[in-house]
Homo-oligomer: A and B are copies of this chain.
Amino acid sequence: MAMRWSGRKLVLAIGGSMISFTIFLCLLNSISFSCHCEEKEVREVLCCSDSRPIKKQQGEGELPQPTIYVITPTYKRMEQIPELTRLAQTLMHVPNLHWIVGDDTSEPNRHIVEYLSQTGIPHTYLLTPMPKQYRTRSKALPKGVANRNAGLKWLRKHATQGVVYFADDDNTYDIRIFEEIRRTKRVSAFPVGLVTSYGLSTPVVKNGSFFDWYDGWRGGRKFPVDMAGFAFSVPYLLQKPKAIMPYKAGFEEDGFLRSLQIDPKEVEFLADGCTKIYVWHTKTRPNKPSKKTILNTKYDGTNLRQLQKDMILEM
């Protein structure tokens, strides 16, 4: 399967083998998995599910709630499934949510596809490898940019209403943040804990109005904010067809918010006027690939032969 990147345009060329693989997966998950993958769609989307066992019902007489589109970049590592598990179990509590998972890979990861399907969360799995020219740089990598931009591209094609939120898989989200961001009209912002030496990144609000930003690293940014500290509406995104995230490590948020052409004074302040912390920039310690002891022949015929299939062993 080949995948090429031409400028800002993502071209996914997926061959017949992948379509077969997709159909196979859909069949595999036939109980709780409703696959909407058509041949054309498969070029960008591996699979999506609209079923959901833990769905909350809308009350009678209530207005329909705007859909929240959560865009999560992810990449293969020892902690990938546990991180997505924690995040999924948070998102399961949120009604009217669609999860866009952009995986930094050009080959679908069956572990992720299978895991996402069984969560029951309506989702879209995108293959979003970082372009080669950025991956080989020696300086800080612009991680998650290809993933988020692919999510935005998917939204421009498939959504007209709702709210978008960039939610990395290692952060911690109190479920209350989702009901806050759901009422975003254009661009909203709110505090994020455990960011930089200040331990906090937030708009500073005085008498209900924008006063300043509080963040331990300004770096000349117009928007010194964390990726998890803002949300924006789909209608507003659609009004800004050039809005995109730049491949510039440390300046992804600033570049994207500048491209949204919003003024800091126009930003909507959520979480009780930015007085509550409902999101934290937690970081998980990376583990090295596991030793190969599990391959010892003395374990033939035991449960370890099944378990090793789910593990990443050292090279």
Q: Which residues of A contact B (CB under 8 A)?
A: 54, 78-79, 81-83, 85-86, 89-90, 92-93, 172, 174-175, 191, 193-194, 197-200, 202-207, 211, 214, 216, 269, 273-277, 280, 282-285, 287-291, 293-294, 299, 301-304, 306-307, 310-313
Q: Hey, which chain B residues are within 8 Å of A89, CB to CB?
A: 89-90, 93, 174-175
B285/A283 in contact, CB under 8 A: yes
Query: A54-B93, A86-B90 given. 17 additional CB < 8 A pairs?
Result: A78-B194, A82-B282, A89-B89, A197-B288, A198-B290, A198-B293, A198-B294, A199-B291, A202-B303, A202-B304, A205-B302, A206-B303, A207-B301, A214-B304, A275-B306, A282-B285, A283-B285
Q: How far, in angstroms, from A142 to B269 measured CA to CA in the complex? A: 44
Q: Hey, which chain B residues are within 8 Å of A299, CB to CB?
A: 204, 214
B282/A194 in contact, CB under 8 A: no
Q: Hey, which chain B residues are within 8 Å of A312, CB to CB?
A: 199
B202/A291 in contact, CB under 8 A: no
Q: How far, in angstroms, from A311 to B276 measured CA to CA in the complex? A: 11
What is the minimal beta-carbon distance from A193 to any residue of chain B, in angstroms? 7
Q: How far, in angstroms, from A291 to B79 measured CA to CA in the complex? A: 30
Q: Hey, which chain B residues are within 8 Å of A211, CB to CB?
A: 302
Q: How far, in angstroms, from A197 to B314 measured CA to CA in the complex? A: 10
| 15 pairs, A vs B, C-beta closer than 8 Å | A78-B194, A78-B199, A79-B194, A82-B280, A85-B172, A86-B90, A86-B172, A92-B93, A199-B313, A205-B303, A216-B291, A276-B306, A277-B310, A282-B285, A284-B284
A291/B82 in contact, CB under 8 A: no
Closest CB pairs A-B (n = 10): A199-B290, A275-B306, A82-B172, A82-B280, A283-B285, A205-B303, A274-B303, A206-B302, A89-B90, A275-B303
A197/B291 in contact, CB under 8 A: yes
Q: How far, in angstroms, from A90 to B93 measured CA to CA in the complex? A: 10
Q: Pick the contact of A204 from B85, B275, B287, B302 — CB < 8 Å? A: B302
Q: How far, in angstroms, from A79 to B294 measured CA to CA in the complex? A: 34
